[in-house]
Structure 1
């Protein structure tokens, strides 16, 4: 907001002190509009420091102002002393007034336009200053953070300014406010797209020593880079090293050689704590997708890695968020034949969201139930459950929805696969009692390896291989160690997406041969 006001006043050739004062008033108005929550007040105080530096015409004069702002805020709210967000704001602001101007001037001397120089140096300086603290707090660093911020920069100002304008003009009537929001739409879409794609890049977050030692180590490394970067020879060496690492690491992180493996039949995508299973249909580019994981980015990235352009059918085993949350990402820029749901249509809000997403992609919403068979050239799917879907009641802990999962038995060139959704003990007992054929070469473990899986059910399936779609460090403690240990002792090969990344079933095994499971690696990082 301050930048928009400054830009307008610069066009009018206003005095810098007047421009800074009017911008400060705009910041105060934004605080009132957004409500003075701690994060908003903190950001406004830091913005005031930058505006003061502009008004005084000397960036280094902002350091005492920054120190004064920090002291005033700590006196007003002592809890900020141990607030990570406060520390990050202070470091980022210090970088903006001390590091970014020098970098921007250096780029401008080399012929870079001012706006481009500022757009490049601001996120780079802020990242460099905050990286040691982030590493110490989270035991991780993000190589893609600077790139993500650079890509997001063009959309931040339009989204923010137009959003504020929509709120300001709303008392005049809905049409002008809606017009502002409509114009802001592409910018907001771009921000969401950058966040989705950046979060889905394998290796976007790398492990680093945590705590004070990790922060100090990265801080010393950053200082060393700044010091040696002042020498032209060292800059050339550092640039060569960075390019070499990028050429080696980026391709292997994003698209490792040999992926997808030839003749893959089934792929369990690593989407974190959720399910997304891709089945080849035998028609080039066409697949069946069973569930879409919890978020747009991971499932979209997995389908991209497999070269999927068209989805014959999306089957949503049930309507919990970890199975339907990524539906929009799966359908993004892909033709889709339809979206199928089972007999349990709860929770209602999830069904409405699924229906809206399917409609936006031009895909019909269809129903599946036990007894249905679906066929493609190299894939046959039999819907074998739920046999007796339980009635959903308000306040249910999710068991009824889990037990209402669609259970699919797929025949592929690489073997039979049982996709058990999130069925728990009652639904498993129903399947056993029905006498339906549960035998399969590969079992997609029910409910991410939950302990609510019966030994009788596992014995009836008698899988040669087990795939567990599960998120690293999940709070549910999935999968259950006892069940996994028992399966391994029984001779089943167990693969988990939290440790192996995407997992593919490939080949055409002869009788008695081992199934071939290929892991892509680079699993999603453990959440912090």
Structure 2
């Protein structure tokens, strides 16, 4: 290894470079090489015959290999509470052992021979999927269950769980602080202790037993794990129970078929490919459920992380559980749900969701700050600024279903424009972060380190630079050079973006000195859409607004903010030159889109369509 000084932006001091290729000191054991071959061939046959999203999900469900899982599917599964499906656990072990024992019974083998075959399959399964905490716990329980089966004793699930946990903690003490192990044990204990009485109660109320069992298992597993998930992640999935109920019917056949794909691909690849095609409909259903569930408004609740979050989640779950026990409350909730579904579903089916398929630009309501999103036309987006906090910009991007970002532009380093950067970076693929010249030092450290910390390239650009992202042509109009000793606002990047509805001008928080210099330089600042500088502050000169002469002016400001943004004089000047002024503090998220006629139109999520 060789250390070299770091010359780029951010707080990184040095970079380590490998001088030579890795040296092979020895081969892994033959059983590990065999397991690696099985995993690789499973991934290969999936990639050969399935779309990318399904091909990446198949190894995750069968052997817990999520390396090829797309960012979109990964995030949808997280929000929908389905991530556990890609962490091989007790359910997978139970399905595999059940399939083997059914085969044993079908061919007429005795209990001892069947147990030996099942134990062999269990060991092979653990080797292939690798012994994670949940797999080790499930394998231990499966071994105890097989021992009970061969000795002819009735299997007792709770003693088996307790024995498995005790033995594993003695052998592997580190599991005591492993979150995955805690989640696995909590969910399993809930299924053993709480699920049977819930099933009985639902059946007594007229539910068909298969549906009652699926609903009960999903519900008690959620109740048991929600506090721990909240403590770790700071979120509670509202849609988890419903999503798990919807996907439950396909899990067993998909696990069995996926295991056959892994076996077939290892022996005769074309057999594996044929079987892999059969998994397509099941995988499509899982992805569709996760996608729809994750896209629902408020699909997950933000709570504090740590012990406070665990307590909040536990209280929410307890209150919901207690309230649901009252017959009148259940009937009222059912009537409301049916009424809402009767109105909402036809509307959703007949009308596309906000803001519609032809949106070009969205000014996100992030409070007292800026965050704008431009559609690139190829499924990606360009994000300009992030607002002060991660949650609002993340909500806006989720609503727009943005998972891939071609460019993240940080106009300048004030917190109201850059503080929410982690809300953009988390759960999405970002190709590049763009900043103004000289973006270095303590003010930039948080922004730049957040980007470089997840492997995103950071690039400085100044006046004269051009950028291309999908259908968007972006010209950098300012600043002209390295940052000056003046205000940080005047060092804002000023962008002109050519879109399908015309030119969009994004001047960040540039103030009078920078804007006057831009106009005096003869730069063409005319635009159809203007993001009003500095939230509509009086620091924007009227001559600049007159030179731009936009038809739509977007003001991003916080509701009842202490600065009085936007200033009445600025609003008056804009309306006087014929601009329609849209404000996030009054109109919420505001979208500029192309109407059916091809003309520019504006849609507010608060006030609906505003005529061109």
TM range (shorter): 0.5 to 0.7
2:531 alignment partner in structure 1? 443
2:434 alignment partner in structure 1? none
SS of 1:442's equivalent? strand
Q: CA deviation at 1:200?
A: 1.4
1:86 alignment partner in structure 2? 181
SS of 2:524's equivalent? coil
2:362 to 268, 282, 301: 268
SS of 1:203's equivalent? coil
Q: Deviations over 1:48-72 (max 9, x none)?
A: 577788888867x322322222233
2:131 to 36, 51, 63: 36
SS of 1:141's equivalent? strand
With normalisation by structure 2, the TM-score equals 0.48
State which drifts further: 117-126 or 132-141: 132-141
1:68 to 163, 176, 181: 163
Over 3 Å counting, the alpha-carbon distance change for 1:496 and 1:25 in structure 2 is farther
1:3 alignment partner in structure 2? 95
1:358 alignment partner in structure 2? none
Over 3 Å counting, the alpha-carbon distance change for 1:107 and 1:467 in structure 2 is same
2:327 alignment partner in structure 1? 236
List aligned pairs for 1:413-432, cutoff 5 A: 417-418=504-505
| Cα distance in 2 between the residues matched to 1:53 and 1:98 | 20
| Cα distance in 2 between the residues matched to 1:224 and 1:52 | 41
2:604 alignment partner in structure 1? 518
Over 3 Å counting, the alpha-carbon distance change for 1:245 and 1:16 in structure 2 is farther
2:244 alignment partner in structure 1? 149
Over 3 Å counting, the alpha-carbon distance change for 1:404 and 1:218 in structure 2 is closer
1:526 alignment partner in structure 2? none
Note the aligned Cα RMSD (angstroms): 6.3
Q: CA deviation at 1:6?
A: 1.6
SS of 2:604's equivalent? strand
Q: Deviations over 1:147-179 (max 9, x none)?
A: 111122233334433333222222323211222
Q: CA deviation at 1:317?
A: 6.9
| Cα distance in 2 between the residues matched to 1:178 and 1:248 | 46
1:341 alignment partner in structure 2? none
Over 3 Å counting, the alpha-carbon distance change for 1:52 and 1:243 in structure 2 is farther
SS of 1:268's equivalent? strand
* 1:140 and 1:208 in contact (8 A); partners too: yes
Q: CA deviation at 1:91?
A: 1.0
SS of 1:36's equivalent? coil
| Cα distance in 2 between the residues matched to 1:496 and 1:51 | 62
Over 3 Å counting, the alpha-carbon distance change for 1:76 and 1:432 in structure 2 is farther
2:283 alignment partner in structure 1? 188
| Cα distance in 1 between the residues matched to 2:507 and 2:378 | 14
Q: CA deviation at 1:42?
A: 4.1
| Cα distance in 2 between the residues matched to 1:190 and 1:502 | 31
| Cα distance in 2 between the residues matched to 1:520 and 1:48 | 58
* 2:303 and 2:312 in contact (8 A); partners too: no
**Aligned pair 1:130/2:217, yes or no?**
no
List aligned pairs for 1:5-404, cutoff 5 A: 5-7=97-99, 9-10=101-102, 12=105, 23=118, 25-45=120-140, 61-107=156-202, 114-208=209-303, 211-216=306-311, 218-219=313-314, 222=317, 234-243=325-334, 246=337, 268=362, 276-277=373-374, 291-292=380-381, 302=400, 385=475
Q: CA deviation at 1:503?
A: 2.4
Over 3 Å counting, the alpha-carbon distance change for 1:111 and 1:20 in structure 2 is farther
Q: Deviations over 1:231-255 (max 9, x none)?
A: xxx4423412533664688899998
Q: CA deviation at 1:146?
A: 0.6
Q: CA deviation at 1:501?
A: 6.6
* 2:473 and 2:498 in contact (8 A); partners too: yes
Over 3 Å counting, the alpha-carbon distance change for 1:385 and 1:190 in structure 2 is same
Q: CA deviation at 1:293?
A: 7.2
SS of 1:88's equivalent? helix
* 2:496 and 2:504 in contact (8 A); partners too: no
Over 3 Å counting, the alpha-carbon distance change for 1:291 and 1:404 in structure 2 is farther
| Cα distance in 2 between the residues matched to 1:122 and 1:172 | 36
Q: CA deviation at 1:183?
A: 1.8
* 1:417 and 1:441 in contact (8 A); partners too: yes
| Cα distance in 1 between the residues matched to 2:228 and 2:146 | 25
Over 3 Å counting, the alpha-carbon distance change for 1:117 and 1:252 in structure 2 is closer
* 1:443 and 1:467 in contact (8 A); partners too: yes
| Cα distance in 1 between the residues matched to 2:533 and 2:195 | 51
SS of 2:505's equivalent? strand
With normalisation by structure 1, the TM-score equals 0.54
* 1:317 and 1:407 in contact (8 A); partners too: no
| Cα distance in 2 between the residues matched to 1:444 and 1:195 | 38
| Cα distance in 2 between the residues matched to 1:274 and 1:40 | 43
Q: Deviations over 1:296-319 (max 9, x none)?
A: x98796489xxxxxxxxxx99769
Unaligned stretches of 5+ in structure 1?
280-287, 305-314, 328-368, 373-380, 389-402, 422-428, 469-478, 509-514, 522-528
Q: CA deviation at 1:203?
A: 0.9
* 1:269 and 1:275 in contact (8 A); partners too: yes
| Cα distance in 2 between the residues matched to 1:92 and 1:50 | 18
Over 3 Å counting, the alpha-carbon distance change for 1:89 and 1:265 in structure 2 is closer
Q: CA deviation at 1:113?
A: 5.4
| Cα distance in 2 between the residues matched to 1:252 and 1:52 | 55
